[in-house]
Amino acid sequence: MMSIENYLKLPYKMEIVPEIDESGFVVSFPELPGCISCGFNIEETIKNALDAKKAWLEAMLEAGKEIPMPNNIEDYSGQFKLRIPKSLHKQLAEQSRHEGISMNQYCLYLLTRNEAIVSLEK
C-alpha cells in the first residue's frame, strides 16, 4: 500500500456538475466511489473536493481497504467492434458518403454530437 502523499499525487478524474436547485456545484471522483463534495463557486468546490479526496483516502487506508488506481488513457486502444443491423449499416454508409467522409468519421461525429447534447441536458 502506498502512503497518503503518493495517492494524493495520482491523477484521479474530478467531475464538477452545476447544482441548479442549490445554486452551486457538486463534485465527485468517479474512480473513488462515494467521494463527493460541493461548493457555492468553482474555487470553493475544488478546495472542498481536494479535502474530501484526502479524507476519503485516509479513511480507506485506516480501514485497510483497497484504493482503486486512476484509469489510464493508455489502457484504451480507441477501437471497438460493433455489430449493427444491416439497415442501419446501409443508412450510415449512405449518409457518410453524402457528407463526403468515411463511415468511421461519421459515426465518431454522431457519438460526439450526442455526448454534447447529453452534456447540455444535464
pLDDT tens digits for range 21-51 = 878 999 999 999 999 999 999 999 999 999 9
CB atoms within 10 A of CB 19: 15
Looking at residue 116, what is its pLDDT? 56
- Amino acid 79: pLDDT: 83
pLDDT recorded at residue 112 = 85
Residue 2 has which C-alpha cell? Answer: 502506498
Instruction: Give yes or no for a contact between 42 and 25, defined as CB atoms under 8 angstroms apart.
Output: yes
Query: How far is it, in rounded angstroms, from Cα 117 to Cα 20?
Result: 18
- For the chain, residues with pLDDT lower than 70 are 115-122
pTM of the model: 0.61
